[in-house]
Amino acid sequence: MKTNLFLTIVLGLLVLITINTDTFATKHRIAVSNFQFTPKSLPNIKLGDTIRWYWSTGTHTTTSDTIPAGAASWDKPIDISDTIFEYVPTMLGTYKYHCTPHLSMGMIASFTVISPAGLSNKDLKPVLSIYPNPVFFNLTIRVESEDSYIRDLRIFDLAGKLIREITFVTSPGVEDKTINLSDLPPGIFMLEFIDNHNKQYSRKVTKL
């Protein structure tokens, strides 16, 4: 009886997991074929957009060269076995990349990530990723931001009661932090982050 009840609770929590999607993000396609990337340049990529390389002919790579500080580098094959690679830029600036087998033939390209109109770097929200979600024990939190950093983290239950306040300080750039949630009961909790500009960001996490 207790086992069935536990399974019912777990299944119920899984159904309530919130998946964060950006409806307005754009996916930019880059064809990889005939010793070139097409288009060779993408000048107006917005934060949150996706770069998608897709294979057409040949054996290639998409490999980062010069990229903005704090951005994640990449080196992925694009061939008949690995036909697609997607990358979501998190920093403003120009990203230059190449195909390793055909670099000497000039197979290079770039894309530039710009700020949304009217916003400065300080106005841009940090990118917060949490995983695994649901979580049993340790939760990893990735913070990506060119300017902002997190200076405080609080955990609330769904009734708004403060459960825990954690010393949680990050630096500008990309940083991973791990917190242990093993002592929390099963349920859904709100993580409230506060950055150095006193802006608040919330994420839901399901504890199993």
Paired tokens of 62:
């998409």
Q: Where in the chain is the domain with CATH 2.60.40.420?
A: 27-114
Q: Match domain 27-114 to its CATH number in 3.20.20.70, 3.30.530.20, 2.60.40.420, 3.40.50.720.
A: 2.60.40.420
Architecture (CATH level 2) of domain 120-207: Sandwich (2.60)
Q: pLDDT tens digits, the chain, 208 residues: what are they?
A: 545 545 444 444 444 433 343 345 688 999 999 899 999 999 889 888 899 999 999 999 999 999 988 889 999 999 999 999 999 998 888 999 999 999 999 999 999 998 766 455 555 667 888 999 999 999 999 888 766 678 889 999 988 889 998 877 887 778 888 999 999 999 999 999 888 777 888 899 999 9
Classify the phi-psi angles of 24: left when phi > 0, otherwise alpha if psi is within -120 to 50, otherwise beta.
Answer: alpha
Q: Where in the chain is the domain with CATH 2.60.40.2550?
A: 120-207
The pLDDT of residue 146:
67
